[in-house]
Amino acid sequence: MKDGISLNIMVTFEEIHANDRFTPEKIKINLQNINYKNFYCIYFVIDTKISSNLTENQKEDCIKIIEKLSKELKCYSKKVEHHVIDYTHVENYDQYLKDIFAETNVLADRKKYYKNSLIYVISTRLCKTKYLFHLDGNRGIWASGNDACFTQTSMNLLEADTNIVGVCVPRKKMQKRLEEYNDVCDLFLSHFQHATYHLSLQAYIVDITRFEPVVFGHMKNNKHDFGKHIEFMVDSCFKNEFVPVFLKEEYSNILKES
């Protein structure tokens, strides 16, 4: 595993094709607002919805959009790539999934799992660096007006406090269900049953070396949760020893779309 941080942008063919909640311009604005130009790699993971009716030609057009966008993001990372989840060759993903789900060709039977839980696992395991910045491609990232860099501050927090598994991009005016963790960040109480603390799966930075054993270890040992909301599975990992935190607004140059 390499030092540094990679940026993962997860999106579906349907979102690219619709050109609504996901647009190339939106991604460029997001990166401009994040304002971090030292990503080891930026990688798109492109999925297909189960109910998709897109043709192969339409999907090819979507890939061309991502390829063009990738060239425009080279100022943030020298390495920009994309991965397409191929449901005609699901065996390609055994290496990422089999130790958790204990069966082969998991993707071939993906209806058993919450809609995108498998893709979160694959996206995480494609990361080659210690730190991962994950961003749902359909979410907006706004500039907060503060100078503190969310990306660097988050990595500093993760380096300094080994109890923190991940740091979430704050949402504007987060007031309910908050517990103070320290002067820089807060805990956010989950609204999912049997969970304590919440990790926003829309925009966060994690230390892979902590996230994988805590979250994937929990998933492996709680197979009855596979059909539940992905955030239920993730949140139920976090009690007191390993926690996700939300950076306070004043220590972040970005805010996420609610």
SS (H, E, C) 4-69: EEEEEEEEEHHHHHHCCCCCHHHHHHHHHHHCCCCCCEEEEEEECCCCCCCCHHHHHHHHHHHHHH
CATH of domain 2-256: 3.90.550
Higher pLDDT, 22 or 105: 22
Helices (H), 47-197: 56-72, 94-101, 117-125, 150-160
Predicted confidence (pLDDT) at residue 102 exceeds the cutoff of 90:
no
Six-digit token pair at 188?
């956010």
Q: How many CA atoms lie within 13 A of 153 on its CB side?
A: 25
> Any idea how long the chain is?
258
Distance CA 179, CA 110 (A): 36
Positive or negative, the CA dihedral 117, 5, 13, 172 is positive
pLDDT computed for residue 193 by the predictor: 67
Higher pLDDT, 25 or 220: 25
pLDDT computed for residue 104 by the predictor: 62
Predicted confidence (pLDDT) at residue 106 exceeds the cutoff of 80:
no
Q: What is the dihedral of CA 123, 126, 129, 132, to 10 degrees?
A: 0
The model's confidence at residue 112, banded by pLDDT at 50, 70 and 90, is confident
Higher pLDDT, 180 or 226: 180
pLDDT, tens only, 113-170? 777 788 899 999 999 999 999 999 999 999 999 999 999 999 999 999 999 999 999 9
Of the listed ranges 63-77, 95-109, 144-158, the least confidently predicted one is 95-109
Domain ranges of the chain: 2-256
SS (H, E, C) 202-235: CEEEEEHHHHHHHHHHHHHHCHHHCCCCHHHHHH
Distance CA 184, CA 61 (A): 44
